[in-house]
Amino acid sequence: MDISATFTLLFLLVASIAAVASADVFSDALLSLKSEFSDNYNALGDWFMPSNKNPSDEITACSWSGVSCNSNSTMVIGLDLSARGLAAELSGKQFAVFVDLVSLNFSHNLFSGKLPPSIFNLTNLKNLDISRNNFSGKFPSGVSGLKKLVVLDAFSNGFSGPLPAEVSQVESLKVVNFAGSYFSGPIPSEYGNFKSLEFIHLAGNLLGGEIPPELGKLQTLTHMEIGYNSYQRGIPWELGNMPQIQYLDIAGANLSGPIPKEISNLANLQSLFLFRNQLNGLIPSHFSKLVSLQSLDLSDNQLSGQIPESFSELKNLSLLSLFQNKLSGTVPHAIADLPMLDTLLLWNNFFSGLLPNSLGINSNLKLVDVSSNNFSGSIPPNLCANGMLSKLILFSNYFAGELPPFLSNCSSLVRIRFEYNSLSGPISLSFGSLSDISYVDLSSNKLTGGVPEDITRASKLEYLNVSNNPELGGKLPPKLWSLPLLSNFSASSCNISGSIPSFQSCKSLTVVELSANYLLGNMPETISDCHGLSIIDLSHNNISGEIPERLGHSTSLLLLNVSFNDISGSIPENSNFRLMDSSAFQGNPKLCGVPLQACRNSKEIQTELLWVLVLCAAVVVFIALAVSGVYYIQKERKKGQWKMISFAGFPNFTAYDVLKSFSSPEFMDTLQYPLVSSPICKVTLPTGITVSVKKIEWDPQRMEVMEELIIQMGNARHKNLTRLLGYCYNKDLVYLLYDYLPNGNVAEKILARQDWTSKYKIVLGIAKGLCYLHHDCYPAIPHGDLRPSNIVFAESMEPQLTEFGFRFLMQLNKGSFPVTTSKMQPGQYTSVNEELYMDIFNFGNIILEILTNGRTQNVSKSILNKPAEDLLEEICRENEVSRQDTLRKELSLMLEVALLCTRSRSSDRPSMKDVVNILSGSNS
């Protein structure tokens, strides 16, 4: 090869190396990263290489959105792709290029799959934010290699497995956020080794074990949130050793035991949240040392004793929340002297005595809730002294005397709840001055003087309840319904007289309750103009005339109760009324039509007589068959010791077949079945049928009446009832054979978050099963023990009620009811109607449990007294339903059903037929 050829080859080689060296590898890597993204909003539309790019050392990507470079655009140092709607499972192969990257922000996107471990090769990173994505799986190892990292934010993802202990080796870290995922296991004790940490957030995971006392070694920490997990035992006293802590939140964490007095050593603490735990004992009096404290929330625990007098030292305290504990005694007068106090929440305790008379003079109170206690005396007169009070909630106490004058001058008031007290005198509220008032509940007191005329000046009023004030009297204001936002008006049992005012401009009205008064005259025709009305209760009055025909065409009406009036004519022929229970119309002798008796004419009377004759013949035949059946059963019993009775759809096994299956160990497994109060076994019968068997030792003298109930239970057939297939018995024992359903029960499913369709299916199925027992069985069969664990799932996951009637069967066996006749009648039950009402109450409770994912397990007084809109907000948050979500209306309707079913007065609860009609319409 000659010299010229060699020179040419060398030149080309050098030129190619230079070309490679000058290539824009950063832009190419970012384009490769973009190719993995699903970018539905074209958020990275400016990420492209121009066709006329001039050779330069500058990086093209430096001009792209979200990309930051150094001053001469030769190095990528920041990448911010937050909140761009991007989705992908990242490969991580591009990260090797960005060795100089200082900040990486992928937050608020839809990235999923595992977090690529190569992200930890970016050793110059100071800020790593991957929050609010769907990354899942175990958090990868390698994070300890990011020696310069200051902020690590992985909030709200789907990570599982243990928290990464190695992160504590990064000495430069100031912020660690692993909240809102599915991390499990204990908090690593190594987390006490952080050298510079200022902020740690681990809340909302599945963490357990004990809180490591080593966390008390965090000398630089100012903010700690580790609640909404499920720890064991209590708060380590060592947490009182963190000198810089300002914010400490361990709420909803299953903590038990007393609050360590060492917490009072946290001199810089401004916010302490320990609510929703199982903490007990006294509130430490040493808390008076927390002079920087602004917010103290110890609510929803089991704390006892009194509020310490030493709280007078907490001059910066603005929030004092102690509700739902076991606290007692009087409220210290020192509480009224706290200058910054604006929120006082003491409800659902055992406080007594008087509220401090000076409460409100020295501070700008905004919210006071001391409901469900034993307070007495008059309402303090200065609660709105500084004109800031917006919510005053005092219900379920023993407050007496007249309404305080300050109420009329407190223009900031939005909500007043004084129900269930002993307040007397007139409703002396100047509604014209209460420009923002929206909610007023004065029910169950001793008020007089009627509903004030000037109520029509409360332009923002949405809810007014004055029910159960027997001496209220007066007449309804003629322009009552003109209030533009009024949705709920309740004035039952108030001795109100006169006629019902004409309905005008009532577009917001949804509930009108005027039962048990002395109202007379006709139902106004204009009530049909209220297109949003869902509940109308005019029962137990002296209303006459006919039901307005147009009212039957309302699409929103769920319940109409006009029982026990003097209404005449026919019930409008509309599907809404046909679906309602007859109890809503009874007590009106002149009223006829479906669902009452048909309105008669001569031809119908003849037809009815014919049907009566046919029915009588059928009854005679039925009685003859029943007598023959009973005779056959008694005859069979005498033939041998053991007998077997099968119901429809079950093979006619002999008693020998069943007993033989019992005796074989391979066919009998003892179950820990939570559905029953006595042992139950799984048994495989001949032909391979698997059944659940319950054993009852019965009294021979009570066999006959118990058999009648068993036969009634066995003949009850509905897709939402567990079938009783048959029973095998002798004079001492009876074995009940049920369908075996191994798919779990509602109690197990409640705790797992489910979609709305599944929840709706469960609730409607329970309602239909209960409706069948109450309305399609004669005599009606009260369930007697309705609860989530007594509702099981068929193979189709259709809910089925089990244990129905069993409680009464056991009561018959114990002799709770006299055996006076061979034919069991409803009268043998002690107040069967009350048992039916209790079923309805328990059904409402189950709805609340399902809607709150098991958080509301027993309907307490505090739940029932909570405003429906507040409950709805909580339930929407629990089910992640926003204000704009179309499901909100369905949730609201189901909540309304639950609240109707759990009304304190049993006769106010709807029938299960009404409930099924409402729920069936809600999903149509």
- Catalytic residue set: 785
Q: What is the dihedral of CA 544, 548, 549, 553, to 10 degrees?
A: -140
Name the residue among 107, 120, 186, 193 with its Cα closest to residue 154: 107
Q: Beta strand pairing status for 791-793 and 799-801? A: antiparallel
SS3 216: helix
The residue length of the chain stands at 924
Cα diameter, the chain: 129
Neighbouring CB atoms inside 10 A of 88's CB total 19
Name the residue among 842, 773, 764 with its Cα closest to residue 799: 764
Name the residue among 692, 729, 689 with its Cα closest to residue 710: 729
Q: From CA 591, how far away is CA 586, in angstroms rounded?
A: 8
Name the residue among 719, 690, 724 with its Cα closest to residue 797: 719
For residue 851, what are the CA distances in angstroms to 205, 580, 862?
21, 25, 17
DSSP string, 407-442: HHH-TT--EEE--SSEEEEE----TTT-TT--EEE-
Q: From CA 846, how far away is CA 564, in angstroms rounded?
A: 31
For residue 578, what are the CA distances in angstroms to 265, 552, 570, 597?
68, 10, 12, 12
For residue 258, what are the CA distances in angstroms to 187, 274, 280, 723?
21, 11, 5, 49
Q: State the Cα angle at 88 between 83 and 89, rounded to 5°.
A: 130
Q: What is the dihedral of CA 392, 397, 400, 402, to 10 degrees?
A: 20
- Please say whether the dihedral angle defined by the alpha carbons of residues 383, 384, 389 and 394, taken in this order, is positive or negative: positive
Q: What is the dihedral of CA 881, 884, 889, 895, to 10 degrees?
A: 40
At residue 649, what is the residue type? Answer: G
The tally of CA atoms less than 13 A away on the side-chain side of residue 517 is: 31
Q: From CA 596, how far away is CA 809, in angstroms rounded?
A: 33
At residue 785, what is the residue type? Answer: D
Phi, psi of 739 (to 5 degrees): -55, 140
End-to-end CA distance of the chain: 90
**Contact between residue 453 and residue 475 where contact means Cβ atoms under 8 Å apart:** no
Q: From CA 354, how far away is CA 356, in angstroms rounded?
A: 6
**Contact between residue 506 and residue 529 where contact means Cβ atoms under 8 Å apart:** yes
Indicate the helix (H) or strand (E) that contains 667: none
Q: From CA 745, how far away is CA 788, in angstroms rounded?
A: 7
**Contact between residue 81 and residue 108 where contact means Cβ atoms under 8 Å apart:** no
